[in-house]
């Protein structure tokens, strides 16, 4: 992996991890996380909350905030929306393909997606650790929460990249389709398939058996089985689509 694909600002890269645009957006997310942490910071001791049969909202707020931001940011990265382009550059994009579209998915874009998602989580980790420690969340629930964040955001990135492969970059259909997937997965599954909703799972980790709203989900295992299976399927499909597109371009 070349350094210019990590630090550059080229149209040939969908989302250079440390490009100026990406760094600016990531810093904005860190500021939002800091504000969330400040607004939910308990200015009284944990024993005071326990005596009132309440718990601080810090864990739930930081993890849900991180989930929404990282998933949406990954979605935008996979669609190539990070590098700023003028309307004329977008109109002239016909025939230009990115490195991610040209190279095998499992050898190039998938490892980059894993690395980029890991970078996002490492940057948010201090806020997530504070949120869990203040709320008194167990180590097991903390790591389950991290797993939910990581898998949900990675799935959003893979789904958006699939739409880019089949619809093309800067297409209205790809923009709408990716946001529709994001909305269904993160929010609509609350009503359609609660056991697969990452936000409800975080709510259950936060409250335990005293969930004030929504169903009590006894185990996150169904979520991990379905989401990891979807990640595997998208990996295989994206690999196949890239190879098919490359064969079609080579015959032109």
Question: Which residues, 6 or more positions from 126, have their beta carbon under 8 angstroms from its beta carbon?
Answer: none
Evaluate if residue 107 carries a pLDDT over 70: yes
| Closest C-alpha to 74, from 106, 129, 116 | 116
113-171 residue pLDDT tens? 999 999 999 999 999 999 998 888 899 999 999 999 999 999 999 999 999 999 877 77
> Please, what is the average pLDDT of the chain?
85
Query: What average pLDDT does the segment 48-61 reach?
Result: 68
203-214 residue pLDDT tens? 999 888 777 777
Q: How confident is the model at residue 226 (pLDDT cuts 50, 70, 90)?
A: very high
| Closest C-alpha to 204, from 59, 16, 104, 103 | 59
Does 91 or 64 have the greater pLDDT score?
64
Q: Is 95 left (phi over 0), alpha (psi -120 to 50) or beta?
A: left
- pTM tops 0.85: yes
Q: What does the DSSP assignment read for 161-230?
A: HHHHHHH-TT-HHHHHHHHHHHHIIIIIHHHH-GGG-HHHHHHHHHHTT--SSS---S-SHHHHHHHHHH
pLDDT score for 5 = 56
Q: How far apart are CA 241 and CA 101, in angstroms?
A: 9
Query: What average pLDDT does the segment 194-211 reach?
Result: 90
């Amino acid at each position: 992996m070349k350094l210019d694909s990590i630090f550059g600002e080229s149209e040939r890269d969908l989302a250079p991890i440390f490009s100026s645009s990406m760094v600016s957006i990531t810093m904005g997310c860190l500021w939002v996380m800091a504000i969330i942490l400040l607004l939910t910071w308990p200015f009284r001791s944990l024993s005071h909350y326990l005596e009132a049969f309440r718990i601080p909202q810090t864990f739930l707020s930081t993890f849900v905030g991180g989930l929404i931001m990282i998933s949406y940011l990954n979605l935008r990265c996979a669609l190539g929306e990070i590098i700023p382009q003028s309307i004329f550059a977008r109109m002239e994009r016909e025939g230009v393909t990115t490195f991610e579209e040209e190279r095998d998915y499992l050898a190039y874009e998938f490892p980059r997606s894993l690395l980029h998602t890991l970078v996002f989580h490492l940057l948010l980790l201090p806020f997530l650790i504070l949120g869990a420690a203040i709320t008194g969340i167990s180590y097991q629930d903390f790591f389950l929460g991290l797993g939910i964040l990581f898998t949900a955001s990675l799935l959003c990135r893979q789904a958006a990249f699939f739409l880019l492969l089949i619809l093309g970059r800067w297409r209205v259909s790809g923009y709408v389709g990716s946001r529709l997937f994001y909305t269904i997965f993160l929010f609509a599954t609350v009503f359609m398939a609660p056991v697969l909703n990452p936000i409800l799972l975080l709510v259950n980790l936060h409250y335990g058996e005293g969930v004030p709203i929504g169903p009590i989900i006894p185990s996150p295992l169904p979520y991990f089985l379905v989401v990891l299976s979807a990640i595997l399927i998208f990996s295989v499909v994206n690999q196949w689509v890239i190879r098919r597109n490359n064969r079609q371009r080579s015959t032109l």
